[in-house]
Structure 1
Amino acid sequence: MKKALWGATALTLVASTSFAGGIDRSGQGVNILFEEGNYAQFTLSRINPDVNGKPAITGAYGDANNVAQGYNQLSFGYKHQVNDNWSVALIADQPYGAHVLYADGPFSNVGSGGALPYNAQADIDSRALTFLAQYELGNGFSIHGGARGVSVKGLIEAGDGRLNADSDYNWGGVIGVAYEKPEIALRVALTYASAIDVDFDGSISQLVAPGTLAPEMPTDFSVEFPESVNLDFQTGVAANTLVFGSARWVGWGGFNLTTPGLAGDIEWVNFADDTTTYRLGVGQRLNDQWSVALVAGYESAGTRPSTTALAPTTGSKSIGVAATYTSPTNWVVSGGLEYVIPGDQSVQVSGGAAPDLQFNDNSAIAMGIRIGYRF
Structure 2
Amino acid sequence: MRATFHLKTLAVAVATISVATMSHAAGLDRSGQDVTAFFQDGTYAEAVYTYIDADVSGYDSANGNPLNNDYIRGDKTGDIAESYDFFRYGVKADINDTFSIGVLYDEPFGASAEYIESNFVAQNDINASVESITAGQFTDFNTAKATLDNLVAAGDALPPELAADRDRLALGLGIVAAEAATAGDTTKVEVRSNNLTAILGMKLGENKNFQIYGGPVAQRIEAETRLRGTAYGPASGYTSRTSPDTDYGYLAGIAYSKPEIALKAALTYRSEIEHSSQTFEQYPLAPALSAGALPSSRNSTIETTTPKSVNFDFQTGINPTTLATAKVRWVPWSDFSIVPSLYTDATKSRFPGGLALVDYDDDQWQVEVGMAKRVAPALAVSGTVGWDSGAGNPTTSLGPIEGYYSVGLGAKYNVTPEWAVSAGGKYLWFGDAKGRLPTGKIVGDFDDNNGYIVGVKLSYQNTK
TM-score of the two chains, using structure 2 as the length reference: 0.75
Distance 1:257 1:225 in 2: 10
Report the residue type matching 1:195 in the other structure.
E
Separation (CA, whole Å) in 2 of partners of 1:6 and 1:103 = 45
CA distance in 2: counterparts of 1:78 and 1:45, whole angstroms: 18
Out of 231, 252, 256, which is 2:333 matched to?
252
Map 1:294-333; keep pairs closer than 5 Å: 294-306=383-395, 308-333=396-421
Are 1:276 and 2:357 an aligned pair?
A: no
* Equivalent-residue separation in structure 2 for 1:190 and 1:352 (angstroms): 37
Structure-2 residue corresponding to 1:66 = 79
Distance 1:2 1:80, change over 3 A: farther
Deviations 1:346-367 (A, max 9, x none): 12479566x7521111110100
The one of 301, 306, 313 equivalent to 1:220 is: 301
Instruction: Give the letter aligned to residue 251 of structure 2.
Output: V
Uncovered stretches (5+) of structure 2, i.e. residues with no partner: 1-5, 63-70, 130-175, 288-294, 349-353
What is the identity, as a one-letter code, of the residue corresponding to 2:445?
Q
Find the counterpart in structure 1 of residue 268 from structure 2.
191
2:211 to 121, 137, 142: 142
Change (3 A) 1:147 1:163: same
1:206 corresponding residue in structure 2: 283
Summarize the alignment of residues 351-362 of structure 1 with structure 2, pairs less than 5 Å apart.
356-362=443-449
- Residue of structure 2 in register with 1:156 after alignment: 225
Q: Is the 8 A contact 2:397 2:443 kept in 1?
A: no
Counterparts of 2:187 and 2:7, CA distance in 1: 47
Residue 340 of structure 1: which of 402, 425, 428 is its match? 428
Q: Does 1:292 align with 2:381?
A: yes
> Structure 1: how far apart are the matches of 2:7 and 2:458?
17
Offset of 1:225 from its aligned partner? 0.8
The more displaced of 313-322 and 292-301 is 292-301
Whole-angstrom CA distance in 2 between matches of 1:352 and 1:86: 52
Aligned equivalents of 2:88 and 2:110: distance in 1? Answer: 14
- Retained in 1: the 8 A contact 2:8–2:261? no
Of 10, 13, 17, the residue aligned with 1:12 is 17
Question: Offset at 1:329?
Answer: 4.5
* Post-superposition CA distance 1:49-101 (Å, at most 9, x none): 01111257899532111111100011111112111111101011101000011
Once the two structures are TM-superposed, the CA of residue 13 in structure 1 deviates from its matched residue by 3.2
Asked if the contact 1:134/1:145 (under 8 Å) is kept, the reply is yes
Deviation at 1:14, TM superposition (A): 3.4
Structure having the higher Rg: 2
Matched, 1:94 2:113: no
| AA aligned opposite 2:192 | D
Separation in 1, partners of 2:389, 2:109: 19
Percent of matched pairs sharing the same residue: 31
Aligned counterpart, 1:172: 249
User: Any conservation in 1 of the 2:366–2:388 contact (CA below 8 Å)?
Assistant: yes
Q: 1:77 to 1:95 in 2, by over 3 A?
A: same
Alignment correspondent of 1:132: 199
Matched residue, 1:23: 28
Secondary structure of the 1:169 match is strand
Determine if contact 2:197/2:218 at 8 Å carries over to the other structure.
Answer: yes
Cα distance change of structure 1 residues 5 and 294 upon mapping to structure 2, 3 Å threshold: farther
Taking the TM superposition and a 5 Å limit, the aligned residue runs for 1:74-89 are: 74-89=87-102
- Letter aligned with residue 273 of structure 1: D
Q: 1:168 to 1:283 in 2, by over 3 A?
A: same
Give the match for residue 363 of structure 1: 450
Shift of 1:2: 5.9
Task: Return the alpha-carbon distance in structure 1 between the equivalents of residues 375 and 338 of structure 2.
Answer: 49
Distance of 1:188 and 1:74 partners within structure 2: 25
Q: Secondary structure at the match of 1:9?
A: helix
Q: Distance in 2 between matches of 1:255 and 1:311?
A: 15
Whether 1:234 and 2:320 are equivalent positions in the alignment is no
Amino acid at match of 1:294: G
Mapped to 2, the partners of 1:30 and 1:299 lie a distance apart of 19
SS in 2 for 1:84: coil
State the SS of the aligned residue for 2:333.
coil
CA distance in 2, matches of 1:19, 1:105: 24
Distance 1:3 1:129 in 2: 30
Q: TM-score with structure 1 length normalisation?
A: 0.92
Structure with greater proportional strand content: 1
Q: After the TM superposition, which of the residue ranges 324-333 and 268-277 deviates more from structure 2? A: 324-333
Cα deviation, residue 142, structure 1: 0.8
CA distance 1:310–1:289, change in 2 (3 Å): same
Match of 1:243 in 2: 324
Query: CA deviation digits over 1:283-330, x for unaligned, max 9?
Result: 101122100100000012443222x21121011100000100112241
Give the secondary structure class of the aligned counterpart of 1:171. strand
| Partner SS, residue 168 of structure 1 | strand
Report if the CA contact (8 A) 2:355-2:438 is conserved: no
Higher mean C-alpha deviation, range 223-232 or range 28-37:
28-37
Point out the structure with the larger helix share.
2
Paired residue total: 372
Listed as ranges, the gaps of 5+ residues in structure 1 are: none
Give the residue type in structure 1 aligned to 2:414. Answer: T
Deviation at 1:169, TM superposition (A): 1.8
